[in-house]
């Protein structure tokens, strides 16, 4: 009678066991229950190497991190004749602590050292016919000591690269499935960057002996990003960790995929993070669910000499690694393309040269980039290069051929020429002329007083007719006030004469031009 066969599934190990008529077999040493490889303490992410930019006032020479990783069901056995039939869970709960330290030797070169230790491994011995998978014999056990050397630098203010070597030493306890008794060198390379408020990083890990089908080797990648959403620096993000693991010589690699969501909060030199998410794949050690809590400490040296300080050729306090104008001094900016760039203003009009369309001519600000900072002599918000009447203030017109030109009321000397003229009796057509007169007065503070004179035809002794002229002038005054002109600048005048009726607008007082003291 054949004994039931066991199916390798999510985090299953039976693919490397063979049925035996004997009793319980010992666990093999060709895989580990600790597939998570934390990043260096300088990285803000769990597995991917991310930005570690030193500020201008010192390096983060010594840093450390403590990471606790809880995995649910990292080792499960299934029957081969029924993929949905779980035989048992040799390890149902696994808690591993990873303590690491990092040393920043120079601005671009750093070393790190990490030691994992399993704290909890609970589960059950699993029997299936004549095959047995016992629970690991130890709970508290040392893992594989890892040492790394990384070169990390910025090629542009928003992107950098990392390359290096890590080696895992055969210090892990085999009976606790924390090591396989072999040395494992591993190459890594990746990119990272920061475009405020986003940080990101992707890293590729290659075991040189992976192509030679040596057990314990892996080909892996990790990508992560986070987004800062509070002034206190709180970030949310996501990270994926993917790998193909060789659990035995000459055996096809087993996949491992884990995806986590993350929340991070800095507290000065300290930073705390919490990550959680599911796992997928057939590699032993893959968690059905993983929860990761981490605390890192990265104080920054305040004292440093010129040799260790980041290069700052223009001495503006913005390091060259993120200075968008490294040879021109300028202030810091949250916009990467303007960080460290000068706010030059050649014509002194208050519009910086970098956004001034008329660098050598004083002008006014405009929402249109092609005319921003260009002259506007009549102050009507239509720049001279577009204004068809650059000396006559006028509200924006509907037609390009008359842009900036008044259509009914133009100031000539001290009098307005209104065409067609206003009639003695109120008319809806009066509004367009009054709008242009009001616009000019709002745009020109030099005109202090305007007389509104209404002259009606008749006998000068006709008091009722004089009163009617004054009322008409007062009505026009109220219309101009409603259009934004201060009443103190307007004087209504009514008159009667034998001449045809007419309405005049005249400048009766101007501000004296400022004089320069000798």
Per DSSP, the residues of 125-136 read -EEETTEEEPPP
The answer to whether position 311 is within a domain reads no
* pTM for the predicted model, two decimal places: 0.55
Residue ranges with strand state E in 80-197: 82-104, 109-122, 126-128, 131-133, 141-142, 146-156, 159-168, 184-195
pLDDT band at 6 (very low <50, low <70, confident <90, very high): very low
The answer to whether position 518 is within a domain reads no
Strand 490-497 versus strand 447-457 pairing type: parallel
The answer to whether position 215 is within a domain reads yes
Note the pLDDT of residue 292.
96
- Let me know whether 327 and 241 are in one domain: no
Of 405, 428, 450, the one marking the end of a domain is 405
Least Cα distance to 182 among 30, 383, 387 occurs for 30
The strand pairing partners of 228, in sequence order, are 235
pLDDT band at 304 (very low <50, low <70, confident <90, very high): very low
In angstroms, how far apart are the furthest CA atoms of the chain? Answer: 137
Distance CA 33, CA 90 (A): 11
Distance CA 372, CA 370 (A): 6
A 10 A CB-CB count for 49 gives 30
- Let me know whether 69 and 210 are in one domain: yes
Domain that holds residue 364: 346-405
pLDDT tens-digit series, residues 215-253: 788 899 999 999 999 888 899 999 999 998 887 776 678
Of 237, 262, 297, the one marking the end of a domain is 297
Q: What percent of the chain has pLDDT over 90?
A: 28
Burial zone of 195 (CB within 10 Å; 0-12 exposed, 13-18 middle, 19+ buried) = exposed
Distance CA 22, CA 20 (A): 5
- Let me know whether 418 and 389 are in one domain: no
pLDDT tens-digit series, residues 107-118: 889 999 999 999
The answer to whether position 434 is within a domain reads yes
Domain CATH for 218: 2.40.160.40
The answer to whether position 334 is within a domain reads yes
The strand pairing partners of 102, in sequence order, are 63, 112
Distance CA 438, CA 466 (A): 26
Note the pLDDT of residue 18.
36
The answer to whether position 126 is within a domain reads yes
Residue 455 near residue 499 (C-beta atoms within 8 A) = yes
Note the pLDDT of residue 91.
86
- Let me know whether 49 and 168 are in one domain: yes
- Let me know whether 259 and 372 are in one domain: no
Helix or strand (DSSP H, E) at 279:
strand 270-280
Distance CA 44, CA 234 (A): 12
A 10 A CB-CB count for 442 gives 16
Distance CA 454, CA 475 (A): 11
Phi-psi category of residue 313: left, alpha or beta, with phi > 0 → left and psi -120 to 50 → alpha? alpha
The pLDDT of residue 371 is above 60: yes
Please provide residue 462's backbone torsions phi and psi, each rounded to the nearest 5 degrees: -80, 95
- Let me know whether 79 and 204 are in one domain: yes
Please provide residue 149's backbone torsions phi and psi, each rounded to the nearest 5 degrees: -130, 125
Distance CA 494, CA 451 (A): 10
- Let me know whether 176 and 57 are in one domain: yes
Residue ranges with strand state E in 169-248: 184-195, 198-206, 218-228, 235-245
Burial zone of 289 (CB within 10 Å; 0-12 exposed, 13-18 middle, 19+ buried) = middle
Helix or strand (DSSP H, E) at 434:
helix 430-443
- Let me know whether 418 and 276 are in one domain: no
Q: What's the whole-number average pLDDT of the chain?
A: 81
- Let me know whether 399 and 441 are in one domain: no
The pLDDT of residue 169 is above 90: yes
Residue 372 near residue 351 (C-beta atoms within 8 A) = yes
Summary count for the chain: helices (H), strands (E): 2, 21
A 10 A CB-CB count for 454 gives 24
- Let me know whether 233 and 377 are in one domain: no
Looking at residue 489, the DSSP 8-state letter turns out to be G
Distance CA 44, CA 506 (A): 72
**What does the pLDDT average to over 163-184?**
90
Domain CATH for 463: 3.30.1330.60
105-114: b or e for each residue (b if 16 or more CB lie within 10 Å)? eebbebebbb
- Let me know whether 38 and 178 are in one domain: yes
pLDDT tens-digit series, residues 414-438: 888 888 888 888 888 888 888 888 8
- Let me know whether 329 and 358 are in one domain: no
Measure the N-to-C terminal CA separation of the chain; round to a whole number of Å.
119
Distance CA 243, CA 436 (A): 73
Least Cα distance to 224 among 204, 201, 243 occurs for 201
pLDDT tens-digit series, residues 446-463: 888 999 999 888 887 788
Q: How many domains does the chain have?
A: 4
How many residues are listed for the chain in this entry?
Answer: 518
Least Cα distance to 443 among 514, 388, 381, 352 occurs for 381
Distance CA 346, CA 358 (A): 10
């Amino acid at each position: 009678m054949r004994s039931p066969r066991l199916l390798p599934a999510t985090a299953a190990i039976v693919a490397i066991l063979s049925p035996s008529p004997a009793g319980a077999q010992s666990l093999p040493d060709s895989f580990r229950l600790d597939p998570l490889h934390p990043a260096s303490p300088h990285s803000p992410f769990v597995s991917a190497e991310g930005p570690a930019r030193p500020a201008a006032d010192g390096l983060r020479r010594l840093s450390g991190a403590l990471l606790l990783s809880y995995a649910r069901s990292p080792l499960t056995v299934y029957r081969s004749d029924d993929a949905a039939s779980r035989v048992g869970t040799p390890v149902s709960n696994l808690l591993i602590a990873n303590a690491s330290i990092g040393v920043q030797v120079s601005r671009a070169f750093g070393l790190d050292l990490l030691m994992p230790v399993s704290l909890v491994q609970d589960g059950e011995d699993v029997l299936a016919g004549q095959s047995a998978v016992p629970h690991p014999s130890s709970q508290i056990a040392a893992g594989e000591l890892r040492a790394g050397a990384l070169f990390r630098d910025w090629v542009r203010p928003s992107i950098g690269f990392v390359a290096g070597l890590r080696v895992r030493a055969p210090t892990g306890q085999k009976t606790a499935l924390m090591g396989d008794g072999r040395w494992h060198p591993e190459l890594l390379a990746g990119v990272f960057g920061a475009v405020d408020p986003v940080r990101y990083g992707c890293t590729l890990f290659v075991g040189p002996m992976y192509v030679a089908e040596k057990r314990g080797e892996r080909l892996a990648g990790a990508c992560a990003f986070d987004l800062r959403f509070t002034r206190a620096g709180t970030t949310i993000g996501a990270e994926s960790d993917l790998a193909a693991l060789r659990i035995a010589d000459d055996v096809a690699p087993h996949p491992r995929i884990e995806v986590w969501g993350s929340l991070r909060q800095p507290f000065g030199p300290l930073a705390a993070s919490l990550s959680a998410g599911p796992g997928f794949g057939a590699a032993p050690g893959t968690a059905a669910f993983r929860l990761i809590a981490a605390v890192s400490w990265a104080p920054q040296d305040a004292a440093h000499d010129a040799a260790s300080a980041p290069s700052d050729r223009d001495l503006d306090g913005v390091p060259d690694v993120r200075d968008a104008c490294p040879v021109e001094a300028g202030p810091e900016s949250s916009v990467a393309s303007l960080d460290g760039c000068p706010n030059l203003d050649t014509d002194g009009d208050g519009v910086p040269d970098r956004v001034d369309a008329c660098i050598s001519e004083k002008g006014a600000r405009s929402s249109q980039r092609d005319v921003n900072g260009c002259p506007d002599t009549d102050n009507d918000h239509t720049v001279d290069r577009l204004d068809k009447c650059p000396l006559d203030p006028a509200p924006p017109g509907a037609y390009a051929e008359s842009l900036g030109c008044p259509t009914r009321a133009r100031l000539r000397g001290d009098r307005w020429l209104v065409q067609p003229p206003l009639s003695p009796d109120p008319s809806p057509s009066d509004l367009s002329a009054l709008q242009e007169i009001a616009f000019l007065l709002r745009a020109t503070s030099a005109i202090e007083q305007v007389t509104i004179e209404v002259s009606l035809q008749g006998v000068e002794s006709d008091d009722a007719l004089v009163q009617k002229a004054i009322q008409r002038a007062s009505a026009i005054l109220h219309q101009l006030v409603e259009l934004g002109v201060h009443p103190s600048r307007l004087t209504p005048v009514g008159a009667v004469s034998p001449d045809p009726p007419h309405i005049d607008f005249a400048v009766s007082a101007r501000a004296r031009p400022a004089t320069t003291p000798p």
